[in-house]
Amino acid sequence: MNTELLLGDEAIALGAIDAGVSGVYAYPGTPSTEIMEYVQEYVKNFQEPIQASWSVNEKTAYEAALGMSYAGKRAMVCMKHVGLNVASDAFINSAITGVNGGLVLVVADDPSMHSSQNEQDSRFYGKFAMIPIIEPANQQEAYEAIKYAFDLSESLKLPVMLRITTRLAHSRSLLKRGHQREQNPLNPEKNLRRFVLLPNNARINYNYLIEQQKSIIEISENSPFNKIFEGTHLSKAIIAFGIGFNYVIEVLQKYNLSIPVLKIGQYPLPEKKIKMFSDKYDSVLIVEEGYPIFEEILKGFFGNDKFKGRLDGILPRTGELNPDIISNALSIKTKVYYEVPEIVRPRLPQLCQGCSHRDLFDYLKKILSNYPNYRVFSDIGCYTLGALPPYEIIHSCVDMGASVTMAKGAADAGFRPAIAVIGDSTFTHSGITGLIDAVNDNSPVTIIISDNRTTAMTGGQKSSGTDRIVSICKGVGVEENHIRKIEPLKKNEELNIKIITEEIEYNGVSVIISERECIQTAVRKKRQQS
Ligand SMILES: Cc1ncc(C[n+]2csc(CCOP(=O)(O)OP(=O)(O)O)c2C)c(N)n1
């Protein structure tokens, strides 16, 4: 057995490789990105026959994994929590079709919104789809949970979700590596109707999924991830979920407390185990990283006040937990280890010096000062920082792709000029369909694709449309003479302002592609060459 020092994300990647995965599909998103990066590096270094490619978005990633599972092989699909909103159609329906080869969905939630628009809790989705969820408490468990999840998926013929959060994804720990097993052979689904969700088949499958629930709960009752840790306290106990267990154990050990703990790492909830455990105590602290989903269920409609947690303010309602928060909930006054000096104040993030988005925003600021009451719809990527000083030139960031369609909606309302700013990766992720809507209605919109030839925000992964953005726009029907390319450099300012102004004045769909390589990627490439 080897020992490795790995991030939670890397532990998952290695877990999948060792579990005999044949395909890993993903779209980048913090804090899940390093899973695919590790697999790709491993495949490159060890020539493993594993398909490991970035998909154009989370839905295509999920569907590719489902196709691989249909063919009988094991597939893993990885995304951040909001990515599951994009993949949710495929995800929910895959619980109705079921799977063939093991299919594991890894979804990384971001409580406290370190790099996200919200802190939604993916366990809701798992419950919604009625499939098992595994929530590891540490890196070793994450590594082992992947094999367990593949086996569970293959025995139940259902997708299995593995839910992690930022702190586990992005912290390192030593772990013991097991053996690498063989991949599955090709063995396509034999039941030719199972994956055809026509109403007649879907009803049969759905009823079967409902029937399976009893046995899925029974598996949870006996799961190695759901375990009681005895303690001597007679009236107080803790139920700790996922990484919450890590925080709880740290506090109990540090302060030498002997409070009984029920650790939950597999859902649906093991109802009998929870009842048997909590019946013995007057007060049970519920430690969930994320929404108080199960606290609410345990409290019940009339609010059983034995269960305490985020809903009654013992723990904060929002944001990430940590050992200090748990200590306070257990009425332990914790020491502040360090004072943050006055000089250290949070600073707003900034675009890099030399970033191509900067020049574009300089142009837009100059052009739009001529339009009273202007608004610019935008999207998610480095360019979102254009909402902050010194630019303050963009006015929306909702979900990937929304810039194009929101600009269209505003144009439909009569708002002029209706401008969208979107990055190249976001454009191929989910901007293209909105552009087709705009073309179909000949909406007066100006779509500016700020193409830095990479997915910069998440660390510079390959962008699906590089070198093909013009042909994509042509292909979806934008008139050729209203697809304009500019190179955002100081020396081109006059020409670029003229081009952008012409297209803003045009009463139809126009696309401006502002193309210059991300400064970080350019520097990295240069370093590799020297
Ligand atoms: C549905 C969803 N998936 C993934 C992400 C993570 N994410 C944020 S921005 C972004 C893409 C950024 O690339 P691009 O649009 O090319 O802009 P750049 O950062 O390169 O300027 C990604 C993958 C997200 N916020 N939402």
Q: Which residue stretches of the chain have pLDDT < 50?
A: none
214 alpha carbon – ligand 1 mean position (Å): 40
Query: ∠495-501-507 over CA atoms, to 5°?
Result: 140
Characterize the bridge pairing of strands 133-134 and 75-80.
unpaired
User: What's the CA gap between 269 and 225, in Å, rounded?
Assistant: 11
On whether both 366 and 296 belong to a single domain, the answer is no
Residue 350 lies in a domain: no
* pLDDT number for residue 336: 62
* pLDDT number for residue 346: 80
Residue 303 lies in a domain: yes
* pLDDT number for residue 1: 65
Model-level pTM greater than 0.85? yes
Residue 344 lies in a domain: no
Nearest CA to ligand 1 atom 3: 83
CATH code where residue 242 lies = 3.40.50.11610
**Model pLDDT for residues 53-64, shown as the tens digit of each residue:** 999 999 999 999
On whether both 183 and 39 belong to a single domain, the answer is yes
Looking at 312, 329, 346, which one is the last position of a domain? 329
DSSP state of 270: -
**Model pLDDT for residues 106-126, shown as the tens digit of each residue:** 999 999 999 999 999 999 999
458: Cβ contacts below 8 Å, ≥ 6 apart: 28, 29, 30, 33
CB-defined site of ligand 1, < 6 Å? 27-29, 80, 82-83, 86, 380-383, 400, 423-426, 452, 454-458, 463
On whether both 19 and 150 belong to a single domain, the answer is yes
Count H helices, E strands: the chain? 19, 19
Residue 28 lies in a domain: yes
Looking at 221, 244, 264, which one is the last position of a domain? 221
Residue 347 lies in a domain: no
What does the chain come to in residues?
530
Domain residues for the domain of 387 are: 356-524
On whether both 239 and 215 belong to a single domain, the answer is no
Residue 324 lies in a domain: yes
On whether both 103 and 217 belong to a single domain, the answer is yes
On whether both 446 and 396 belong to a single domain, the answer is yes
450 alpha carbon – ligand 1 mean position (Å): 12
Which is the closest atom of ligand 1 to the Cα of 426?
A: 15
Residue 365 lies in a domain: yes
On whether both 190 and 242 belong to a single domain, the answer is no
113 alpha carbon – ligand 1 mean position (Å): 15
Written as six digits, the tokens of 164 are: 């992690």
Residue entry with tokens 């029920």: 262
The DSSP bridge partners found for residue 241 are 264
Burial 456-478 (b: 16+ CB within 10 A, else e): bbbebbebbbbeebbebbeebeb
Structural domain count of the chain: 3
* pLDDT number for residue 338: 67
383 alpha carbon – ligand 1 mean position (Å): 10
Which is the closest atom of ligand 1 to the Cα of 422?
A: 15
**Model pLDDT for residues 366-415, shown as the tens digit of each residue:** 999 999 989 999 999 999 999 999 999 999 999 999 999 999 999 999 99
Residue 336 lies in a domain: no
Greatest alpha-carbon span in the chain: 78
Which is the closest atom of ligand 1 to the Cα of 30?
A: 6
User: What's the CA gap between 450 and 357, in Å, rounded?
Assistant: 7
Looking at 153, 187, 221, which one is the last position of a domain? 221
On whether both 181 and 33 belong to a single domain, the answer is yes
On whether both 149 and 233 belong to a single domain, the answer is no
CATH code where residue 465 lies = 3.40.50.970
Q: Tell me the C-alpha to C-alpha distance, in Å, between residue 444 and each of 124, 163, 367, 399, 439.
A: 39, 43, 17, 22, 9
> Following CA atoms 187, 190, 194, 197 in sequence, which dihedral angle do they give, to the nearest 10 degrees?
80
Question: Which among 321, 304, 333 has a CA at the least distance from the CA of 245?
Answer: 321
* pLDDT number for residue 195: 98
| Contact between residue 465 and residue 471 where contact means Cβ atoms under 8 Å apart | no
Which is the closest atom of ligand 1 to the Cα of 384?
A: 21
> Residue 300 class from Cβ within 10 Å (0-12 exposed, 13-18 middle, 19+ buried)?
exposed
Residue entry with tokens 């009998």: 272
Ramachandran region of residue 79, left (φ > 0), alpha (ψ -120 to 50) or beta?
beta
On whether both 236 and 199 belong to a single domain, the answer is no
Nearest CA to ligand 1 atom 21: 382
On whether both 374 and 433 belong to a single domain, the answer is yes
On whether both 185 and 274 belong to a single domain, the answer is no
Question: Which among 187, 99, 188 has a CA at the least distance from the CA of 150?
Answer: 99
Residue entry with tokens 């999948």: 16
* pLDDT number for residue 252: 97
**Model pLDDT for residues 3-44, shown as the tens digit of each residue:** 999 999 999 999 999 999 999 999 999 999 999 999 999 999
> Following CA atoms 321, 326, 328, 329 in sequence, which dihedral angle do they give, to the nearest 10 degrees?
110
